[in-house]
Structure 1
Amino acid sequence: MPAAVAAPRARLPGVAWRLSAVSFLAASADSFFLLLLLWVAGPQGWTGLQTALVILALRLPTLAAGVLLGRAVDRWGARRLMLIDLAGRAALLGGLALTGRLPLIAVLLVGAATGCLAPASYAGARWLLPRVVPDDALGRANAVVAFGDHAPLVLGPALVGPALALFGTSVSLLVPIGLLVAALVLARGLPAVASPAAPEAVRDAPHAGRLPGRVTALIALSTAYYFVYGPFESATPALVRARLDSGEAIYSLLWVVFGLGAIATLPLVPRLGRRRPGLVNALGALFWGLVMLPVLVVQDVPLAAGLFLLGGAVWGPYASIETAALQRWVPPSQHGRVFGLQRSLLGTASPLGAAIGAVALEQVSAQAVLGCSALLCALAGLLALARRDLRRAE
């Protein structure tokens, strides 16, 4: 008999690519804004504690707002909440740009307000995707949207150095404003998909208030991983200045190659996430810590760039694998709630770790902070491997 011919893979719906573009533009704006503030903290005269406060102001409100916005997505759908988020953040950054010199109090207030809004687009994209993409294509669709999340690791750093050199601090804020406006225009074309269940049905569903153990374990792993990774963001500028004897161009380069590494491994997401995603991500956290540990002895730019490239490659598939697992393990009527919770925890954990790293830099070297961070990432992965339900969950 002739060999069976495999059916060609169906093309992804255009809405998946649109969601990727919206995520890319919005996350690029967020990345640019954070990196800009981290770089100008020294020239602005901010102390380590003040820099930590800025980071916390950007992300801590996400902890309170994430679950509320996720539930709002479950009730009213993704499109409306995403439009409110994107328009609100663009307006807030516009107001900050008008202050001219970025006074600390204005940065804190605007950062807190944007942090309250940002979870809506993240949760909305992941709520909408399973409703517009066939189940057998969901892994590929998550990888496409993840490209929109990871590509900002390239674009944000690539833009922030030249923008600061050419335009100065306040005018450079026009870059994230423009990115958010472009995302807003694209988001207007998203379908207004209705929620699959009325709020009453979600409330009355069996065990609606509890999440499966494997779900809480996976989110707990990510929260710990992102928290102990956080010092890499705040300590990298000090590493570039003190150890590599370089400026904003090399700072941008390191994060660009990190982003390129992350993008390069995204095609592996459907295969890696097909079986035992909890095990895969626990090993990912372990390997990332081991890969980045040589930062303790790095003294030249090529070696540092190589480490960041390899670290990005290990980091790349992680978030998409987690997203696909949560979409499978959680009922559709609770997707908004779960992804809002996830975003609130992860969006807070990394900046909180970065804030602690900023304070630690006043006492120890950047390499000590980065080395400690890498070791703790590996430890988080090891601890997660001890959870049998997480290791074995399909």
Structure 2
Amino acid sequence: MTRAAGLVPAAYRPALAHRTFRRLFLGLAGSYLGDGMSFVAVAWLAIELAPQHTGLWVGAAVAAYTLPGALGALLLGRWLRRLPAPRALLADNVLRAVFLGAVPLLWAGGLLDPTTYVVLLAVSSLLHAWGSAATYTLLADLMPSEHRLAANTLVSTLTFAATIAGPAVAGVLVSSVSASYVLGLDALSYLFLAGIIVRTSWPTAQSADPVDRAAARGGLALLRGQPALLGLLALTWIFNLLYGPVEVALPLHVTDDLHASGSLLGLYWALFGVGAVAGGLAVGALRQLPLWPVTLAIAVGWGLSLVPFGLHAPTALTVACFTIGGAIYGPFVPLSVTLMQAESPPEHLASMLAARSAALLTASPLGTALGGPITAALGPRATLGGSGLATMALAGVAALVLASRKGDR
């Protein structure tokens, strides 16, 4: 035990020594693994249900799995902000478990059609933004301030780790059984986390509400007076918007262009996760680099990793590029947050970060929703390559704006 503890970096030992944190960490690990499997299964089941017009239905399904969470964050705040964080997290997990669990039951009974499927996904995701916010609120309540960064990093790394294991498992399962049963496993993972929440004694809440519309509106007003930060938010929002079509086009690229099985789709996402974990852990080495140039370089690098799809490159090359793309993509979020922390007035940082979270809740899901008709019109390869070129163009425009601001100064 002592030798194993010695392998853990010192910064993470206090968090892992906290019994309640370990219980929450275990529950989140199971839940995130289920989400990782759904990363493949949601799109694959849409393909099974709608062999015609697959691009539109895949886009609708992937968007329904995420986009309603943004609506729930804004529309249900009056009621949900009064809930303690454990109850908000429990409500999200129970809702996800019930409606995702209905998918394999209806499939087995021959009652599942594309419209019903999209509705079930949409309802299941309605509270997910609140559940995510409640998770980090619990971490703030559990850990003293000097250990919160380590706890947040451990939980954030789980997401990318689940992107490694989940798609690999799901890729094998959807090739042998219906993808609906993979979503059933995701539902069970939410029940697992819900059980841990119910059986754990949580501390009295001390932190502020995780999502607050008033704070978000105030933060947006403050951002309008900070052109650099408003530009950073715009860059991050568009970057995430342009990423959205990838989640629609990639499964269709595997099925329509390559005529391959779900195992290949799982391999793409698993290796993306490997790259993202490696890139995220390497962020510490980038601290001494200028953050704006590094952030723009990440946008260019991610765009370049998608271009080979549009050039009809061999599958082995696109798999390698997508892996490298994961390593490039992984650090973008922590670097953009660090940049906002560095340039925000300290007294307004919380409001500005709240505004950032509220705005970004819509970006990737909206891009995913648009990805359906775009992929149907252009085809998967052109959509993937076009997303890469558009992301590179975004970085170029941002670089020109930064250069002009420096010239004005």
Aligned AA for 2:37?
F
Paired amino acid for 1:86: N
> What is residue 369 of structure 2 aligned with on the other side?
355
Q: Does 1:90 align with 2:104?
A: no
Residue of structure 2 equivalent to 1:149: 159
Contact persistence 2:33–2:165 (CA under 8 A):
yes
CA offsets 1:66-87 (integer angstroms, 9 cap, x no match): 2456787765442221111111
Paired residue type of 1:230: G
Counterpart contact for 1:277–1:325, Cα < 8 Å: yes
Question: Gaps spanning 5+ residues in structure 1: where?
Answer: 1-7
Per-residue deviation, 1:165: 3.1
Q: Deviations over 1:92-140 (max 9, x none)?
A: 1122322124322321221221221110122123334445445555444
**Higher alpha-carbon deviation: 209-218 or 122-131:** 209-218
Q: Which residue is equivalent to 1:51?
A: 58
In the TM superposition, residue 260 of structure 1 has moved relative to its aligned partner by: 0.8
- 1:62 corresponds to 2:69: yes
Give the corresponding residue for 1:185: 195
For 1:97, give the aligned amino acid: P
- Find the aligned partners of 1:18 and 1:269 in 2 and give their Cα distance: 27
TM-score (ref. length: structure 1): 0.81
Cα distance change of structure 1 residues 167 and 345 upon mapping to structure 2, 3 Å threshold: farther
Higher helix share: 2
Partner AA of 1:210 in structure 2: A
Contact 2:12 2:150 in 1 (8 A): no
Counterpart AA for 1:11:
R
Aligned mates of 2:257, 2:115 — CA distance in 1: 31
Alignment identity in percent?
25
Given that residues 289 and 377 in structure 1 are in contact (C-alpha distance below 8 angstroms), is that contact kept between their aligned partners in structure 2?
yes
Partner of 2:122 in structure 1?
112
In 2, the alpha carbon distance for the partners of 1:26 and 1:157 equals 14
Q: Which has the higher contact order (CA 8 A, sep 6+)?
A: 1
Tell me how far apart the structure 1 counterparts of residues 264 and 78 of structure 2 sit (CA, whole Å). 41
1:287 aligns with 2:301: yes
Give the structure 1 partner of residue 47 of structure 2. Answer: 42
Cα distance change on mapping 1:317 and 1:75 into 2, 3 Å: farther
Q: Counterpart of 2:205?
A: 194
Aligned CA distance change for structure 1 residues 104 and 158 (closer, same or farther; 3 Å): same
Answering whether residue 233 of structure 2 is matched by residue 219 of structure 1, we say yes
Contact kept? 1:21, 1:148, Cα under 8 Å = no
Counterpart AA for 1:42: I
Shift in Å at residue 220 of structure 1?
2.8
What's the RMSD between the two structures over aligned residues? 3.8
Distance 1:18 1:277 in 2: 35
Q: Is the deviation greater in 257-266 or in 152-161?
A: 152-161
State the shift of 1:369 in Å: 1.0
1:320-343 C-alpha deviation (Å, 9 max, x unpaired): 34455667859899969955x655
Matches within 5 A, 1:1-394: 9=11, 11-13=13-15, 14=18, 20-45=25-50, 46-47=52-53, 48-67=55-74, 75-100=82-107, 101=110, 102-188=112-198, 189=200, 191-196=202-207, 210-212=221-223, 213=226, 216-272=230-286, 277=291, 280-323=294-337, 338=353, 342=356, 345-385=359-399
CA distance in structure 2 between the aligned counterparts of 1:335 and 1:382, rounded to whole angstroms: 30
Cα distance between partner residues in 1 of 2:12 and 2:165: 30
1:234 Cα deviation after fit: 1.1
Q: Distance in 2 between matches of 1:97 and 1:347?
A: 28
